[in-house]
Amino acid sequence: MMVPRYDWTVDEVLAVIERPFHDLLADAHTCHIERFSAHSVEAAKLLSIKTGGCPEDCAYCPQSAHNSTGLTAEPLMDTKSIVAAATEAKAEGATRFCMGAAWRSPSDSQVQKVAESIEAVAELGLETCVTLGMLTASQATTLSHAGLDFYNHNLDTSADFYGTIITTRTYEDRLTTLANCRDAGIRLCTGGIVGMGETRRQRAGLLTQLATLNPHPESVPINLLIQVPGTPLHGLPEFAPLELVRTIAATRLVMPGSVVRLSAGRASMSEELHALCFHAGANSIFLGERLLTADNNGDDEDRRILDQLDTTLKV
């Protein structure tokens, strides 16, 4: 069994990504089945509990107040409505319920309101995950005491490409929030986005940053950019599908014990691309027809693809 490393360099990770394709997939799949079943994937459900109006200027995001996407800002959902959505998610086969709020850095009172929803969702027997923006140490502790299992806070890309995508929050801000959550006993869900115009080396830089966290993040979402009209990244060349497969495989090899989530962008992916990504080590997906504000595959399409691959949802 591959022993996890925490001393990866960008050159080493780039060399992994650039291995001959069939060798890369064979090694990634071998690594994957040493720790996980090749025939099941984790199912999560993601709900936008506070949509739009975010003051961050993330170039990919339709919820940014800097981007003209026609999205209407909405207030924080009440706990009763959130629990109703979580109950439905559990019935659909989800084992983790993720709640996202379009904030830069929530107030203590906002965190307390979300904490109440976390407690209520946890009572349903679901794992809980939230993404609320930057957190202070005390806010992370509040969420931990509420029973939060995971905090999602993506690094998005490498440090040297980050300023091209976001200027309102620093890379160090993101790392500080991850450290605050880890110190509070919350498991980490952190990954990035591919297809934003970054180079292979910059993708390697992202994976290196994640793989040198000790311990590795428990969940690593790999998102394929969804090009939304009105965002600065709309109109970029299409990301090469096999480059996504290489990224998934490299993620598996440098973080062998992490759950790798094939995340945003799946609605545009063929079943063959799904199959290659699962073979390369992806073992988690989001269920449902919506992913925050974007289209997602939908349960019927996911079950059709999984049936083709003799794969089930993990229970």
Residues identified as active-site: 54, 58, 61, 98, 129, 189, 261
- Contact in structure between 275 and 304 (CB atoms under 8 Å): no
Residue by residue, DSSP assigns the chain as: -PPP-S---HHHHHHHHTS-HHHHHHHHHHHHHHHS-TTEEEEEEEEEEE-S-B----TT-TTBTTS-S-PPP-PPPPHHHHHHHHHHHHHTT-SEEEEEE--SS--HHHHHHHHHHHHHHHTTT-EEEEE-S---HHHHHHHHHTT--EEE---BS-HHHHHHH-SSS-HHHHHHHHHHHHHTTPEEE--EEE-SS--HHHHHHHHHHHHTSSSPPSEEEEEEP---TTSTTTTPPPPPHHHHHHHHHHHHHHSTTSEEEE-TTGGG--HHHHHHHHHHT--EEE-SSEETTEE---HHHHHHHHHHTT-EE--
- Contact in structure between 201 and 215 (CB atoms under 8 Å): no
